[in-house]
């Protein structure tokens, strides 16, 4: 199952679509049919892209503190949505491979396919924005060289990670590895598990 190049194409389409307006408040117009892997991949990267820019905004040293808190809470919600989407993608793969019988010596991977794709999505954003920096005319020669080297390394990471993702899925398909979906079980958003929140409710 070759998925890395397909995911890469979808991630970059999402990034290009976002940057037409470059507005964190613009709606996501997912071009792929619901209930498809492509839809989930596009949604995943759109969340990442919006959050990337929220993270830039909140680092403005002159930002109004009230606005900063608002954005911080929005980033928290985005992180939860990102995690949920990764789990939906893993659920897709779990269903896709449901008829594969793992070999007796099959091993589990250190990360699931969807979390590897999560890294690929972020890598697409890093490459896009590093490429934007490469095009700047005001960089010093030293900074220009640093940016070019970072871009080269990111490109190498893309090749390595893409290969690793496809190899992982191939090994799952052949029963050499198996996967599970571990819910992240985040506690900070749960009013009954976050001591700051449930402590307030007891007062």
What is the model's pLDDT at position 2? 87
Asked whether residue 16 is assigned to any structural domain, the reply reads yes
Asked whether residue 196 is assigned to any structural domain, the reply reads no
Beta bridge partners of 108: 178
Instruction: Residue 29: give the domain boundaries.
Output: 4-190
Q: Which residues neighbour 81 within 8 Å (Cβ) at sequence distance 6 or greater?
A: 47
- For 137-163, the pLDDT digits (tens) are 999 999 999 999 999 999 999 999 999
Whether the Cβ atoms of residue 58 and residue 24 lie closer than 8 Å to each other: no
Asked whether residue 83 is assigned to any structural domain, the reply reads yes
Asked whether residue 199 is assigned to any structural domain, the reply reads no
Query: Low-confidence residues of the chain, pLDDT below 50?
Result: none
What is the model's pLDDT at position 66? 97
Q: pTM (2 decimals)?
A: 0.91
- For 9-20, the pLDDT digits (tens) are 999 999 999 999
Domains identified in the chain, total number: 1
What is the model's pLDDT at position 197? 76
Range list of H helices, 20-112: 37-58, 65-96
192 φ/ψ angles, rounded to the nearest 5 degrees:
-100, -5
Asked whether residue 183 is assigned to any structural domain, the reply reads yes
């Amino acid at each position: 199952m070759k998925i890395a190049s397909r995911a890469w194409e979808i991630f970059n389409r999402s990034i290009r679509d976002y940057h037409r307006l470059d507005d964190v408040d613009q709606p996501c117009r997912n071009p792929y049919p619901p209930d498809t892997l492509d839809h989930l991949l596009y949604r995943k990267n759109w969340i990442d892209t919006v959050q990337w820019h929220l993270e830039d905004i909140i680092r403005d040293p002159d930002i109004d503190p009230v606005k900063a808190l608002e954005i911080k809470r929005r980033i928290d919600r985005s992180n939860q949505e990102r995690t949920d989407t990764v789990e939906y993608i893993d659920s897709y793969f779990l269903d896709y491979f449901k008829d594969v019988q793992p070999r007796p010596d099959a091993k589990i991977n250190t990360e699931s396919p969807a979390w590897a794709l999560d890294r690929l999505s972020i890598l697409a954003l890093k490459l896009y924005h590093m490429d934007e920096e490469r095009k700047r005319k005001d960089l010093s020669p030293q900074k220009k060289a640093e940016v070019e080297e970072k871009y080269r390394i990111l490109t190498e990471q893309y090749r390595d990670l893409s290969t690793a993702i496809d190899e992982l899925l191939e090994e799952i398909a052949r029963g050499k590895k198996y996967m599970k979906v571990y819910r992240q079980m985040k506690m900070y958003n749960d009013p009954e598990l976050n001591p700051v929140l449930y402590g307030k409710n007891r007062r």
